[in-house]
Amino acid sequence: MKPRCRKCGADFVQRIRPDGILERVSGLLFIHPFRCQLCTHRFRGFLPGAVAFGQKVDRRQYVRFSARFPVTFTGEGGRGEGTATDISMGGCALESDSTLMPSMVLKLRLRVSDHALPVEVEAAVVRSIRSKIAGLEFVRFAPQEKYRLNQYVAGLVFAHRQD
C-alpha cells in the first residue's frame, strides 16, 4: 500500500527515483521517495519489501493523463499555438506546427475549460521534441495558477479512477 502525501493527504502518489546516496541507502530499509501527483510535494515513505522491489520506478515524477485542449505560447521565437495532448502537474505534451527547440523557455496559456480563464504557466522548458510534439516541463507559475491546474488534474484523476 502506497503512503499518503504528508502535505495534502492525497493517496495519489508515485514512487520516484532516489536522489543521492542517502535515498539509495534508505531504500534498503524500504523507505523510498514519492511525489504527490496533486500538490507536487516530494517526501519519503515506507513501502514494504516485496512491493518495493517489484515496482518499476519511472523516469517521470508525474503521471500524465490524456487531454486535448488549446494552448497559446510566447517564447524566444515569438508566438505560437498548439494542442496539449496530455498533462500532469509537472508538464504536458504540446502538439504544434511552430518550430520549438530543446531548452527553449515558453510562457503558456492552457485553455483547459471553455468556462474559465486560461491557466497561465510563467515558464515551461522544452525538454524533448518528437516530430510535431514537444515535451514541456512546467518550471514556474503563480500559486493561484498552480491551484487552478491542480483542480483540473484532480478532475482527471477522479475520472481516471472511475474507469
Which has the closest alpha carbon to 16: 33, 37, 36?
Answer: 33
Tell me how far apart the 2 most distant CA atoms of the chain are, in Å. 51
Sign of the torsion formed by the C-alpha atoms of 67, 71, 73 and 78: positive
**Count of residues in the chain:** 163
Residue 157's pLDDT is 84
79 and 112 inside one domain? yes
Judge whether residue 25 has pLDDT over 50.
Answer: yes
Range with the poorest average pLDDT among 57-61, 128-132, 157-161: 57-61
For residue 106, list its beta bridge partners: 75, 124
* Higher pLDDT pick, 29 / 90: 90
Cα Rg of the chain (Å, integer):
17
| Cα 89 to Cα 95: distance, rounded to the nearest angstrom | 18
Are 23 and 71 within one domain? no
Q: Model's pTM, two decimal places?
A: 0.83
pLDDT at position 9 is: 92
Section 98-103 average pLDDT: 94
Between CA 94 and CA 81 the distance in angstroms is: 9
CATH of residue 86: 2.40.10.220
pLDDT at 122: 98
Residues 6+ apart with CB under 8 A from 132: 95, 96, 97
Three-state DSSP state, 51: helix
Q: Is the pLDDT of residue 61 over 90?
A: no
Mean pLDDT of the chain: 90
Q: What's the number of domains the chain is made of?
A: 2
Note whether 82 and 114 are same-domain residues.
yes
Give yes or no for residue 52 having a pLDDT over 60: no
Q: Is residue 5 part of a domain?
A: no
pLDDT of residue 50: 47
How many Å apart are CA 83 and CA 95, to the nearest integer? 5
Residues 103 and 137 in one domain: yes
Lowest-pLDDT range, 26-30, 36-40, 116-120, 134-138? 26-30
Structural domain boundaries, residue 90: 65-162
Residue 69 banded pLDDT, cuts 50, 70, 90:
very high
Task: Examine the domain organization and report whether 46 and 121 are in the same domain.
Answer: no
Residue type, 134: A
- Shared-domain flag, residues 47 and 87: no
CA distance 106 to 112: 18
CA 41 – CA 150 distance, rounded (Å): 12
For the chain, give the percent of residues with pLDDT over 70.
93
How many percent of the chain have pLDDT more than 90? Answer: 68
